[in-house]
Structures are given as structure tokens and as C-alpha cells.
Structure 1
Amino acid sequence: MRVDLFDFELPPERIALRPVRPRDSARMLVVEGGAAPFADRRVSDLPSLLRAGDVLVFNDTRVIPAQLEGRRGEASIGATLHKRIDLRRWQAFVRNAKRLKPGDRIDFPQGVTAIAEERHADGSFTLAFGGEEPVEVLLERAGTMPLPPYIAGKRPTDAQDREDYQTMFAREDGAVAAPTAALHFTPELLAALAEAGIASETLTLHVGAGTFLPVKAEDTEAHAMHSEWGRIDAATADRLNAARAAGGRVIAVGTTSLRLLESAAGEDKVIRPFEGDTAIFITPGYRFRAIDGLMTNFHLPKSTLFMLVSALMGLERMQAAYAHAIANEYRFYSYGDSSLLIP
């Protein structure tokens, strides 16, 4: 499909630079299939919007401070780690990459160093970190939270972002972007959902910085997705399959959870254990296998994620929903408001 079909105008003032407090007070646009009117609700209304027996699926990845600023000689070098290769090596997008060649050493703050081992076809580098401490320890010392470019371009990252840009489910280190739909959840909301008979499950997908990359191709078939590592264990897959068999709906909280669930499901719509990389790219025409709904924030024009929600609900339906959200002053992107999509 033509990428320009997924374009829309977003006023800059609709981009949220901070989350609302409490987290579950964010607005939520409910979009159902067919011609049902849109409903303007709050995330805290979720227990009354779902049914007993439904299951919410969260991503328990934890964002690491993967943004580094360093120097190679006189040159300033910025690195955003986006995929772990092994214990000491990460693939990274590099700013000022023309000043870097394989074999060069980059000096980051606090005595952290890395060798640029290899340049990849997409312009990224493999960075091999020195020393014996785990790379995650080095990042806690020298790195900052990798806020999305549309936020980082408007204000500096600060200490508050270390809390704000992490979900209550975060426990598996490895993401360089938050699974932002889950930022809206609080322990109180989770308790209310459980009381209403709505279950919760977790999986792990380490979100990469590729999620921020623009689609430069003119047609979706020419776009190459970056792969990300994920895992669903056998017990979780069994519980999700049992819930659907009993008439419950599987509601993915965030596009990251959705993409991993769809990667793990077969043509028979059975979710199986999964561990490894996925580069699934969901566009209109895709037949969903694993999920019955999606809770997600509002996405960028011409992004792979707006393509995904258009595949779930229909392009015209999502164009109308986003026009409604803009007209009614919803807050967009990572720190913004939410939507509940039930096809």
C-alpha cells in the first residue's frame, strides 16, 4: 500500500511532553467496529468497558538508559543502543556516524568506553564495551533514558523521566523504548480489573529504537522492519488459549504485546511458546490470529504503528478516530492519552 495513505496533520501542541497524574486519569478514546459512535472515556473506566473473562496482556520489558553521549577524539558521537548482540556487544544507531569507522574507540562519561566493531547496511554500528562489568551497569552510570525524538527535541531528559518512562510491570532489562500503553496502569487500576474478573498476563518484547524510525519507502512492501527479541512461555500461552476457548477476549496492551502475540500464533489461532527475534510488519489486509482488541496510545503519521491500528480497525475508521481525537484535544504519542480498539 502507498505510505502516504497513512498521513495526517497533527498540530504540534497535541504532542504530550509529560504524562498526566495519576497515570490512570489519562483520557481514552473507545473505538469499536462498524459505525458505533466513538466514546470519550478515561483509562480508569477500563473495568467497566471490558468483560469478566477477558485477559489484558502486558509487556514486562524494562527500559534501560540506552542513550550515550561520547567522543572519538575531537568528534562528538551520540549512540542509542537498540539491540543486544551478546553480553558485551550491542547494535546502536549513531549520530555523527560519518566521523566513526570500524576499530575506533568512543569515550563516554564515567570511564565507559566502546569499540565500533562493524558498520551495518542501515548505518548502525556494533559497539563492543570495555571492562568486565555488565553493560547494563555501565549504562546506569553513563547513560540517559532514550526519550522519543519528538519529546527529546523539545526538552532535555531529566531525572523525572527515569520514573515516568517506565511501566509498573517493568522487570526484564533490555528495552530502549517503553511499551507506552502500559504507562497508564496503576496498582489500584489493576486491583479493580481483577475484582471485575479481568485477568492479566505478561510477556517480554525488548522494544528497539527502530520503533522511532520513519518509513522512508513510498510503498509499505519496500519497508524493512527492525527485528526485536521477545519471549512467551508455555504456561502463559496455555492460559491465553484457555481464556479464549472459554469465551474471553485477549486484549493486547500496546502494539509491542500485540506484535509478539501475533508472532507466536499459528494459522489455527493457537498461541504457542515463543523465544527469539520477530520483525512482523502488520498492514491492512493482515488477518489477526491471537488478539481480540488493543489498548494503545496515538501514533505518528505514516508510522508502522498507525498502519497496524489501521489493519485492526480499517484505515477509514482510524482516520476518523484520529480526527476526532485531534478535534477533542487528546494528547498524542508516548506520554499522551490512550485508545481502546475493539474490532
Structure 2
Amino acid sequence: MRVDLFDFQLPPERIALRPAEPRDAARMLVVNDTLIDRHVRDLPDLLRAGDLLVFNDTRVIPAQLEGTRGSHGDGPQSGPGARIGATLHKREGPRRWRAFVRNARRLRDGDSIDFGAGVSATASDRGADGSWALDFAGDEPVELLLERAGRMPLPPYIAARRAADTRDADDYQTMFAREQGAVAAPTAALHFTPALMEALTARGIGHATLTLHVGAGTFLPVKAEDTADHAMHAEWGRIDAATADRLNAVRAAGGRVIACGTTSLRLIESAAGEDGVIRPFEGDTAIFITPGYRFRGVDGLLTNFHLPRSTLFMLVSALMGLERMKAAYAHAIDNGYRFYSYGDASLLLP
């Protein structure tokens, strides 16, 4: 399909720079045969007993680093001291992360980068997408190094308008965050509070968790003119056997599996077979969902509002239909909904 079919105009003032307070006070557009304006706290009234919400329990790490180019490993230096910015986006080994690099023209294979606080890494293996492999020095777990030298990786559309601050360390983390490794939050789950979870449980609406470490590739624009020519980024995820069995049991009993976030949806669909059975999964997924895709493992989706021409707007259009989602987004824009990571939500029930 042509990528420009997924374009729309978003006024900049619709981009949320802070989350709603309290989190479950965020607005929520319910999209099925009609469009209904509600709030996230209304979810217990909108779902059915026996339904199951599936959350991503990944934890965002302070994956943005600022450093200085140091020595070159195999030849004379050229311009040591250059400022280098790095955003980690995918773990490739115990001490190796793939990173997008700012000022990469000043970097050569084998260069070291000093990120301060006793944290340094060697750059190598530049990829076709412009990313570099960073091998961190020392014996400490890389997570500890990042706690010392890194900062929270706010999405580009927020970072361009304000700097990350101490509030973001909590604001950009969900209440389910447990497994360290994401460099972007599974933002649909940012809306949930303990009180809302108690209300859902009281109505017989269950929840389960899986893990998908969201990478910075989620923010990369689609540069191709046709979706068939877009190379989707890969992310690591895991669904254990107990969780897979539970999801299958819910559907067998007539309940609905509602993915809370596109990351949960993509992993469930990666684990679901043509027969609709969800199986244990562990590894990378680069699933790219566009209109025409037949959903096998989910029955609905709670998600935020996404960027124009993005793979995520393509995904929600695949679930609900492109024209219906364009109408929903036009309604959201006209009625003052807040967009993107810290913005409001939509509940999509095909």
C-alpha cells in the first residue's frame, strides 16, 4: 500500500508534553461501530467479565548517553574530543548494544567514547541503518553503568520541545515495569493505576504480562513510498508457556484478549499460529502489520494516538480499517485529544 495513504495533519499543540494526572484521568476514544468519548478510568464499564488485558512488563532504561570521542583503536586519531550522542536501541550481547549515534560522521570503527562517570565504550560495526555497535568496557553490568551515566530516552517529538527531567524517571515508566531493557515505554500502560487495576479485577476482568523490549526503531519514520519496501526493526520478546496457556483459555471460554499497547499486540501476533493458538515465544520479532493482515491472537487493543505515516498507525488501521481510523483521528484532533506517548488513549474493538 502507498505510505501516503496513512498521512494526516496534526497540530503541534496536540502533542502532550506531560501525562495526565492522575494517570487514569486520561481521555479515551472508544472506536467500534461508533465513536464514544470516555476516560481510561471507565474501562471496567466498557469491558466484560472474562476479558483479559495483556500488559508489557518491560522497564525503560536510561538509554541516552552523551560523551566525548577518545582514542582510535588501530591508527592515529583525527579529531579526538568530538561530542558524541548515543541512543541505545537493542541489546546484542552481555556488553554490546546497538545504538543510533549523533555526530556519527566524527566516529570511526574502533573509536572509544567516554560517557563520563567511569563509563566508556568502543564503537564498531556500523550498520546499514546508520547505527553502531557499542561494546562497554569493564565488568559491571551495563544496566549499572547506564544508571550512572544515562538519562531517560524521551521520544524525539517531546525531546525537541523540552529536556528530560527528574519527573520523567517516574512518568515514563509503567506500573508493570519489571524486566529492564526497553529504550521506549509501552505507553498505553502508562494510563494504569493500582486503583484502576482493583476496579477491573472486581469486575472479573483479568490481566497478564509478557515482555517485549521496545527499541528506538519504533520512532523511525517510514521512508519508503510503499509499505512493501519498508524494512521493519526487530525487537526481542518473550511469552512463557503459562501465559500462552492462559490467553488460549480465555478465548476458549468466550473471553476477549485485549492487548494493552501495540507492543503486546505485536508479540501476541508473533506467537499465534494460523490456527489461532498462541504458543510460547522467545526471540526477535520484526512483524509488520498493515491492512489486509488477519489477526490471530487478539480481539481488541488499547493504545495511544500514533504518528502519521508510522508503522503503528498502519497497525491500528489494519485492525479497524483505514477510513474508520482516519475518522477517529480527525474526531480526536477536533475534540482536543492529546497525542503520542504522554497523550490520551483509544480503545479499539473490531
> TM-score interval w.r.t. the shorter chain?
over 0.9
- Partners of 1:22 and 1:123 lie apart in 2 by 39
- What secondary structure is seen at the aligned counterpart in 2 of 1:119? coil
The residue aligned with 1:109 is 116
In the aligned structure 2, how far is the partner of 1:80 from the partner of 1:223?
A: 22
- Residue number in structure 1 paired with 2:84: 77
Shift of 1:118: 1.3
Written as runs of structure 1 = structure 2, the 5 A alignment for 1:33-112 is: 36-72=33-69, 73-112=80-119
1:5 equivalent in structure 2: 5
Aligned to 1:224: 231
Q: Distance in 2 between matches of 1:178 and 1:133?
A: 25
Correspondence for 1:180: 187
Please state how far the C-alpha of 1:208 moved relative to its aligned partner: 0.2
Whole-angstrom distance in 1 between the partners of 2:128 and 2:330: 38
Mapped partners of 1:286, 1:298: distance in 2: 20
Aligned partner of 2:73 in structure 1 is none
CA distance in 2, matches of 1:265, 1:99: 44
Q: Distance in 2 between matches of 1:141 and 1:304?
A: 33
Task: Provide the residue aligned with 1:147 in structure 2.
Answer: 154
Q: Provide Cα deviations, 1:64-116, integer angstroms capped at 9, x if missing partner.
A: 00000111122111100000011110000111111111100001021210000
Q: Distance in 1 between matches of 2:181 and 2:259?
A: 20
Q: Within 1, Cα distance between the matches of 2:8 and 2:296? A: 29
Q: CA deviation at 1:37?
A: 2.3
| TM score, norm. by length of structure 2 | 0.97
Aligned to 2:15: 15
| Structure-1 separation of matches of 2:133 and 2:233 | 15
Partner SS for 2:287:
coil
For 2:308 and 2:92, the matched residues in 1 are separated by 31
SS of 2:338's equivalent in the other structure is coil
Q: CA deviation at 1:117?
A: 2.0
1:62 CA displacement: 0.1
Deviations 1:118-157 (A, max 9, x none): 1111110000000110000000000000000000000000
Q: How does 1:289-308 map to 2 (within 5 A)?
A: 289-308=296-315
C-alpha distance in structure 2 between counterparts of 1:164 and 1:311, whole Å:
30
- 2:99 is matched by which residue type in structure 1? A
Aligned match of 1:246: 253
Structure 2's unaligned 5+ residue stretches are 70-79
Corresponding position: 1:322 with 2:329? yes
- Which whole-Å CA distance do the structure 2 matches of 1:25 and 1:251 have between them? 20
Matched position secondary structure for 2:237: strand
Residue-pair matches, total: 340
Deviations 1:181-223 (A, max 9, x none): 0000000000100000000000000000000000000000110
Distance in 2 separating the partners of 1:157 and 1:267: 43
SS in 1 for 2:293: coil
The C-alpha deviation readout for 1:25-69, integer Å capped at 9, x for no partner, is 00000000xxx3210000000000000000000000000000001
CA distance in 2, matches of 1:83, 1:174: 8
Alignment correspondent of 1:129: 136
Normalised by the length of structure 1, the TM-score is: 0.99
* Equivalent residue letter for 2:218: T
The aligned counterpart of 2:74 is: none
- SS of 1:109 mapped into structure 2: coil
Which contiguous aligned blocks of 4+ residues in structure 1 show a shift greater than 2 angstroms?
none
Amino acid at match of 1:195: A
Q: What amino acid maps onto 1:21 in structure 2?
A: E
In 1, the alpha carbon distance for the partners of 2:143 and 2:109 equals: 23
CA distance in 2 between counterparts of 1:99 and 1:222 reads 30
Q: Deviations over 1:286-330 (max 9, x none)?
A: 000000000000000000000000000000000000000000000
Instruction: Name the CA distance, whole Å, in 2 between partners of 1:109 and 1:339.
Output: 41
2:36 and 2:287 mapped to 1: Cα distance? 30
Query: Which structure 1 segments of 5+ residues have no match?
Result: none
1:28 alignment partner in structure 2: 28
Partner of 1:283: 290
Q: Distance in 2 between matches of 1:212 and 1:160?
A: 22
Does the residue aligned with 1:318 lie in a helix, a strand or coil? helix
The letter for the 2-side match of 1:125 is: W
